Structures are given as C-alpha cells and as structure tokens.
Amino acid sequence: MKQVAFYLIAHQPRRLRLPAPDLAGLSLAEMVDAVHDDAMNRHYLERVAELCYRPVLAMLRESGWKASLAVTDTLLWQARRWAPDVARAFTHLPESVERVGVSPQHGFLFRLDPNRFSRAMRRYRGQVTDTTEMWLSEDVATALHQAGCLAALADRSPHLGLAEGAPLTASLAGLPVILRHRTLSDDVGYRFSDRSAPGWPLTADGFAARLKEAPEACGLIGWDLETFGEHYHADTGILDFLSNLPRALEQAGVQTVPVSALARLGPPLPAFGACTWAGTGTPDVFFSTPVQRQVWALVEEIWQLAKGAPAKAAALWFTQSDIFHMLYWAAERGPLADVSSYFTPEPWRQAGPAAFASEVVRVYSKVRAWFLESEGGQRRD
C-alpha cells in the first residue's frame, strides 16, 4: 500500500435522562432539555476532552499530519457549552487536516426522510462525507449524490462479499465510495491492547510495516477519535503510537493523503442492502431486537407528528444512533453485546437490561405523547 488516508470521527451522544421525566406543560425547548441528562453529558464531555480531544488536537496541530476529520454536531453542541477551547479547535482545524461531512445528529434521518437528509447534506457539497456509523445503502448513496457530495465513506464490511485485497475504491448510484480497510483499522481500534493479537504490542513502526505490506495500492484507515486516550488510556501507549505514526509512515515510504485524494469511481458494488462499520457489518446491531424495533416505531411516529422547522429540529435528537446501539445488550449476549454495554453509561447498566430497555421505551413514549398533546410541537406555551 503506497497511499493511505487516515480518517477520524469525533462524537459524543446527547444521552437520555433515565428514569423518564414528566413532560406535561413543557415548551418544545424545555421538553428536549428535560429528556436529556446534560449533567451526565457534561461529565463525559469534560472527561473525554481531557483524556483525548486536547492531546490529539494538539498532536494534529504540531505534527502537520495529513489526516481527515469529522466532528458530529452533537459533540460540537456539548463542547461549545462545557469545553469551548475544544470547540474552537474543532472549528478551526489546521490546514493539514481535511474536514469530512457527517450526518445530522449522528442519527438515522436517512431512514426517515431521504429527501430531507439529502437537503441537509448539501452543506457538504464538493466534500467527502461520512454517514452515521458509515451506513451505506443505495438510497443513501443516491441522496449524497443528489446533494453534490464528492464521495462517501463506507466500511469494507464482510456483508459486501468483497475479497480480501479487493480495491478500496468503488461506486454506488453514481457516487464514488471509499472503503475503510476493516482489518488494519481494527488492529488499532479493537485490538491495540489485546495481548493475544498477532504482533502485540503494536508499535507505530510495526503498523506502518503492515500498511506497506498490504496488497491494496491505496487505502482508508478509519478510527473513532476517542480511540486515542478514551477507549485506550494513555498508559496503554496509544497516544505515543499516534504521535509516532507520521514519522513511521514516512520512514516506511507510505504516503499519507487526505481522503479526497481517494475520491474516484471504482468498480460498482454488488447488491447488498445496507452495511455499516458497526458489529458484523449489517444493521442488526441497531434494529434486530424487539425493543430496538419498538423504539424505532416510536421515532417514526414522533417524526410524523413534529410540525414545522423547530419541531423537526427537536425531533432529530431522537434519531441518534447511540441509543439503538446501547439497546442491543439489553436483549443479546456475546461480543457485539459487550461492545454495546461498554458504550452504555454505568448507571444504566446497573439497572439491568429489562429496566434499562423499559425506561428508554417510556422516554420515547412520553415524547410521542408530548407531540400529540402540543399539536406537533407548534404550541410552545
């Protein structure tokens, strides 16, 4: 592999308040604030800012590394309130860092209203864009193409049925698609501290060598930004790994490029339905269990009930993917459920799966009732 693009996505969800609060008599803005636990959200934001965002953003500024970065609006909303220096750093990125577009509220608007999703993504016209959890389907590709986006990021999910070593550039619905190298990305994202992983401990030099030896001519490596300092704390060596990586790549003769440099039409992808970078690569980790489907049905009702731009904007908060991911462990067991549980706040895990799932349903049911009683959110007394 001679050319590599490194993509980082920074995200924090706006977590719900559990148990479900009383919403009677609240205005639209008051209702949205009431159902979100912003004391909890501030706690997580300030912790991750200290462990991850500040050191990684400093490294990007100082190194001049040609990385690509997406920042979700749910994270920016919180950073502006509780870590304004982080918000400024995310807003004013160094010239070496290319900005990547990302779905509104890190949510599933594209499943609710593809036309509105396409309009929302027009702000990224001419840019490479990501979608929530790297979700890709023909409908999503069509919406992004209509929005004028340069290319979409997606995962080389096993669900696509592509052979190892297949090109990491493709096309769907006339849109260039840049495929993330799942194995090499997850060597860091999921296996960095795994003592049983081949080649542990993984060093920057060792990872650069793996990239150089990969059979693909070019590739995309994609990580959660929170991998560096939050998912793996500094004492694991993860921040040293990231700091040393630009030098190691240069010495290995691997060129680092922005993701836009890989934006070209490749072979058409085969028919596959929808894929993501989460779980095994299918949407199952979000929508396979009864409670996930029940909550999604409530989201669809809320979206239909919301009338007018302010109400639609408020309803977007309830499309966030994170709650659906967190609900997976409430019904399933195994490695995917362990990941789901890891992202679930400790107080919610302590309540147990049945109580947690029940309270989430109650929150969405109360929001649905609020929209019914408030005439779709237009009555905001």
Q: What is the pLDDT of residues 174-188, one digit of tens each?
A: 999 999 999 999 999
What's the whole-number mean pLDDT along residues 14-38?
97
Render pLDDT for 226-254 as a digit per residue (tens, 0 to 9).
999 999 999 999 999 999 999 999 999 99
pLDDT at position 165 is 76
How many CB atoms neighbour CB 24 within 10 A? 10
Whether the CB-CB separation of 114 and 21 falls below 8 Å is answered with no
pTM of the predicted structure, to 2 decimals: 0.96
What average pLDDT does the structure give for the chain?
96
- The class of domain 3-275 in CATH terms is alpha beta
Q: Which pLDDT score, from 0 to 100, does residue 378 have? A: 80
Give 192's DSSP letter.
Answer: T
Residue 360 has what pLDDT? 98
Q: Where in the chain is the domain with CATH 3.20.110.10?
A: 3-275
Q: Where are the beta strands (DSSP E) in 181-309?
A: 218-224, 255-256, 274-275
Residue 380: pLDDT over 80: no
Output 237-242 pairs: Cβ under 8 A, ≥24 positions apart. Answer: 237/201, 238/192, 239/55, 239/56, 239/59, 240/204, 241/188, 241/192, 241/202, 241/203, 241/204, 241/207, 242/56, 242/59, 242/204
137/380: higher pLDDT: 137
Strands (E), 60-190: 67-71, 98-99, 128-129, 136-137, 151-155, 169-172, 175-180
Task: Read off the pLDDT of residues 27-78 as tens digits, 9 standing for 90 and up.
Answer: 999 999 999 999 999 999 999 999 999 999 999 999 999 999 999 999 999 9
